[in-house]
């Protein structure tokens, strides 16, 4: 699955980093950065957790 991030919606809460540290990071302003665009099944649960806790609804998973 592919992770999509709408960076201009991001409010720098860092929730995604807490949920999936190897998929998300934050820049100096706190805006989320995608470390990995393609995630395997083993990371899906954490990414779904990040989607659920992101207060800006800025993260999506898209099927390919």
Instruction: Based on the shown chain and the rule CB under 8 A, indicate whether residue 42 belongs to the binding site for another protein.
Output: no
- Binder among 23, 39, 47, 59 for ligand SF4 (CB under 6 A): 59
Q: Which does 2 bind (CB under 5 to 8 A by kind): ligand SF4, another protein, none?
A: none
**Residue 20: which residues within 8 A CB-CB, separation 6 or more?**
43, 46, 47, 49, 50
CB 56 within 8 A of CB 7: no
Question: How far is 52 from 55, CA to CA, in rounded Å?
Answer: 8
Instruction: Based on the shown chain and the rule CB under 6 A, indicate whether residue 61 belongs to the binding site for ligand SF4.
Output: no
Residues near another protein (CB under 8 A): 9, 11-15, 17, 26, 28-30, 48, 52-57, 60
């Amino acid at each position: 699955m592919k992770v999509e991030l709408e960076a201009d919606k991001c409010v720098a809460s860092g929730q995604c980093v807490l949920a999936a540290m190897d998929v998300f990071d934050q820049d100096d302003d706190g805006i989320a950065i995608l470390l990995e665009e393609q995630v395997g099944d083993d990371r899906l649960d954490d990414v779904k957790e990040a989607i659920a806790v992101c207060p800006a609804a800025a993260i999506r998973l898209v099927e390919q």
